[in-house]
Amino acid sequence: MAEIGYLGNAGPTDNGSDFNANTFLVWSILARVRTMQPCKVLAVTNNGGVAPVGFLTLQPLVNQLDGYGNATPHGPIYNVPYFRLQGGANAIIIDPQVGDIGFAGFADRDISSVKANKGQANPGSKRQFSMADAVYMGGILNGTPSQYIAFSASGVAITSPTAVTITAPTVNIDASTQCAINSPNIILNGPIEQGQGSNAGNASMGGTLTVTTDVIGGGKSLKNHTHPDPQGGNTGPPN
């Protein structure tokens, strides 16, 4: 019967000396240590809403190779926490999306109990440097965004193809030179107060001002004001 062998990763010189043999042994052990790897997002529990940080399913993108160079893809990694820029109740919410590519780092101990308890805990097992203990950092090798905040030498640009919403009890805009609003349709829902603060001044309109109720100037009503009548008394209000 013919003997069947398998080609390993040792080279022709790895058994040439004790040093070479020990070096090969060390590298073989280090090959089991996981540090970081690019991964693709297969599933996400969150969709950009206001919620606690969620979890991902990741596909490692660097295949395994045997001694013949045959590729064996890694299986998916499930229940992977991902990074969010957050301090207390303050956060920037940008949840990963299916198809994103980013780096995953692998903890040196089992973090499953910490994930379950969201606090200090003993390691869930004795595994070390395992892909099962991945944490997704996100954000490499991705395409051109259509919704973004861009920082450049010319300033800060906020761009959205749909809408930008700011919600707060008080919103202040401080512009030392000019504040311009360019839109074919501007809607203001609420009372308007003009002429206050350090930059108080006059208001001017380049087009027709249409008011559905009344205009008060100097305490006098445009709709209901009267004039003295030379023949005595006052005129009636404007029609």
Looking up tokens 């994103």, which residue turns up?
100
Q: What is the pLDDT of residue 73?
A: 95
Range of the domain at 30: 18-136
Q: Kindly state whether residue 49 falls inside one of the protein's structural domains.
A: yes
Q: DSSP string covering 13-31, please? A: TTTSSHHHHHHHHHHHHHT
d(CA 37, CA 60): 7
Q: Kindly state whether residue 94 falls inside one of the protein's structural domains.
A: yes
Looking up tokens 């008394």, which residue turns up?
233
**Overall number of domains in the chain:** 1
Q: Is 59 exposed, middle or buried, given 0-12, 13-18 or 19+ CB atoms closer than 10 A?
A: middle
Per residue in 57-92, pLDDT tens? 999 999 988 888 889 999 999 999 999 999 999 999
> Is residue 193 helix, strand or coil?
coil
Q: Domain containing 129 — which CATH number?
A: 2.40.50.230
Q: What is the pLDDT of residue 50?
A: 92
- pLDDT at residue 4 greater than cutoff 90: no
Answer for the pair 125, 110: CB distance below 8 angstroms, yes or no. yes
Percent of the chain whose pLDDT exceeds 70: 97
Residue 151 φ/ψ, nearest 5 degrees = -110, 125
Q: Kindly state whether residue 212 falls inside one of the protein's structural domains.
A: no
In the numeric block, which tokens belong to residue 154?
A: 């010319």
Per residue in 189-213, pLDDT tens? 888 888 777 777 888 888 888 888 8
Q: Kindly state whether residue 177 falls inside one of the protein's structural domains.
A: no
Q: What pTM does this model have?
A: 0.77
Per residue in 141-158, pLDDT tens? 999 999 999 999 999 999
d(CA 78, CA 82): 12
